[in-house]
Homo-oligomer: A and B are copies of this chain.
Amino acid sequence: MSNQQLAIALDVMGADKGIETLLAGCRQAFQKGLEASVVLAGDEARIREHGPGAGLDLDSNKIRIRHAEAVVTMQDKPTQVMRRGRNTSMWAAIEAVKKGEVSAAVSCGNTGALMAMSVLQLRMIEGVDRPAITALWPNIQGGNGVVLDVGANVEANETQLVQFAIMGEAYYRALTGKQKPKVGLLNVGAEELKGHELIRTAATTLREADPEMDFYGFVEGDDLAKGTVDVIVTDGFTGNIALKSAEGTARMIGGWVRESLTATLLSKMGAALMMGSLKRLKSRMDPSRVNGAPLLGLNGLVLKSHGSSDADGIAAALLTAENLARNPFRDEIKTTIAKVERRTERALTQSNQDTEEQKSQQKAIV
């Protein structure tokens, strides 16, 4: 798809902040060089009402509106969502992907609903069992690692962990251009524990079935911030808890730092002197710098933006969506999954033959 044709759907409803923030984010994305046109999915009257306040020219040829009245709220349960699902702005945005009208959809809404609707409309890539949600994890190397799954699935078996590794690797390559990202499996460290049986099996499978991958082996929780590897694979339960534990810690320390900067008159004067360095610190800790995480494993590109994204965050998500839409990483996932499936099957057939041979030998001995 050439740049001229590229379009992205933005679900402007169901976010923590109002429509106006989302429209302002869209305007900011254009200012920051977004080339794709944007399809605003949501209540047309409300979009028209808030466009001027957000400074977004709704008559621009880069903007279209796809009317949808209903909203998926953060409190909605999946069953409720599915009942009035087809009238929601979220559904409309994903449908635009399905119909080929846009190359990607971005939503700040309810993650569970976004995933359920995406699977229903777009279906999984052949050979992939379950979608995965990714998170970008800042590290001391100055970059971001990709962690998955962070909450799409409560449990993951060996095969699914292998699929997450393949999807995460292709996604990291698309994000950064690094040809051979290092991939690690999240595990506990103590020698005698060394994780569940299924993590060990996943490690063996990865080594054997995808020898092109730069598979590092096991990593521990503190390797996330160290940047030991580029892609960290885990199940959605562990990933979600690790992510939220770290976010909570970052917020707590951020609060302490702010407090110590303003505790006394002297510290306020000190903080004024170091304004420059503090700005850099703030930008390092700012989650809206990087925003927009694709749901991996789908036949189509759907990005989850933080529920509480501000205009900066929305702009970042739209630019990420454009970048990913131009990248063939989903084709790579498809190819690698198929290749690994073939190799694993061959390995199984091989070991069956071995067993048959052993049996005949045993018979011969008897």
User: Which residue of chain B lies nearest to A227 when distances are taken between CB atoms in the complex?
Assistant: B252
Chain B residues contacting A120 (CB-CB under 8 Å) are none
Expressed in whole angstroms, the minimum distance between the Cβ of A6 and any Cβ of chain B is 31
Expressed in whole angstroms, the minimum distance between the Cβ of A61 and any Cβ of chain B is 39
**What band does the interface of chain A fall in when counting residues whose beta carbon is under 8 Å from B?**
35 or more
A359 within 8 A of B: no
A255 within 8 A of B: yes
A121 within 8 A of B: no
A100 within 8 A of B: no
Chain B residues contacting A250 (CB-CB under 8 Å) are 249, 253
Q: Mark A246-264, 1 if CB is under 8 A from B, else 0.
A: 1111111111110111011
Expressed in whole angstroms, the minimum distance between the Cβ of A149 and any Cβ of chain B is 11
A273 within 8 A of B: yes
Chain B residues contacting A242 (CB-CB under 8 Å) are 221, 241-242, 245
Stretch among A188-196, A318-326, A339-347 lining the B interface:
A188-196
Give this chain's copy count: 2
Q: Are A222 and B195 in contact (CB under 8 A)?
A: no
Q: Are A238 and B236 in contact (CB under 8 A)?
A: no
Q: Are B280 and A151 in contact (CB under 8 A)?
A: no
User: Which residue of chain B lies nearest to A265 when distances are taken between CB atoms in the complex?
Assistant: B273
Chain B residues contacting A111 (CB-CB under 8 Å) are 190
A274 within 8 A of B: yes
Name A237's contact: one of B196, B245, B285 (CB within 8 Å): B196
Q: Are A260 and B281 in contact (CB under 8 A)?
A: yes
User: Which residue of chain B lies nearest to A260 when distances are taken between CB atoms in the complex?
Assistant: B277
A240 within 8 A of B: yes
List residues 201-247 of chain A with CB under 8 A from any CB of chain B: 220-226, 234, 236-238, 240-247
A138 within 8 A of B: yes
Given the contacts A222-B247, A252-B139, A264-B276, A151 and B192 also touching, CB distance less than 8 Å: no
Name A220's contact: one of B112, B153, B241 (CB within 8 Å): B241
User: Which residue of chain B lies nearest to A284 when distances are taken between CB atoms in the complex?
Assistant: B256
Q: Are A266 and B260 in contact (CB under 8 A)?
A: no
Chain B residues contacting A248 (CB-CB under 8 Å) are 221-226, 246
Chain B residues contacting A277 (CB-CB under 8 Å) are 259-261, 263-264, 267
A155 within 8 A of B: yes
